Amino acid sequence: MEGELMEADVVVSSRLSFKKIQSSEKYPKGQSTRRWKHLKQILQSENCTPDLPNYVNIESPPSTQPCKRICDVTGFEAPYVDPRTNLRYANAHVFKTLRSLSPDQVHQYLSIRNAAVVLK
């Protein structure tokens, strides 16, 4: 390896003295993409008693306050919704820019709000 890299010492060496089993033995090459369970799967397979608090239990409830509607493009208060694209807008000026957006951008704006319709 280059001298500079050795000097920087950023790389984790593959053989460490304090480890009982080295990583290279544990994860032989080619198999390194082991299937780790994602959070959803972990939660599903968890044996949870509803009395005691557990990961799922302590999720917050949905909000009771009225939903705040702000314009997707500018951030102002937005009482209006564009029927064609479902974007919220604040006034006519913003509306004009809305209509001139490309479908890609519209999709992105909506997906920020988690309101995009994904056609598979």
Q: According to CB under 8 A, which residues from 56 to 75 bind other proteins?
A: 57-65, 67-68, 70, 73-75
- For residue 88, report the phi and psi dihedrals to the nearest 5 degrees: -95, 145
Residue 3 in contact with other proteins, rule: CB under 8 A: no
Integer Cα distance of 110 and 93 in angstroms: 19
Binding residues for other proteins restricted to 37-56, rule: CB under 8 A: 37-39, 42-43, 45-47, 52-55
Closest CA to 1 of 17, 14, 16: 14
92 part of the interface to other proteins, by CB under 8 A? no
Choose, by CB under 8 A, the member of 3, 28, 30, 36 that binds other proteins: 36
Cβ proximity to other proteins: between 75 and 92 the closer is 75
The candidate with the shortest Cα–Cα distance to 93, out of 111, 114, 78, 112, is 78
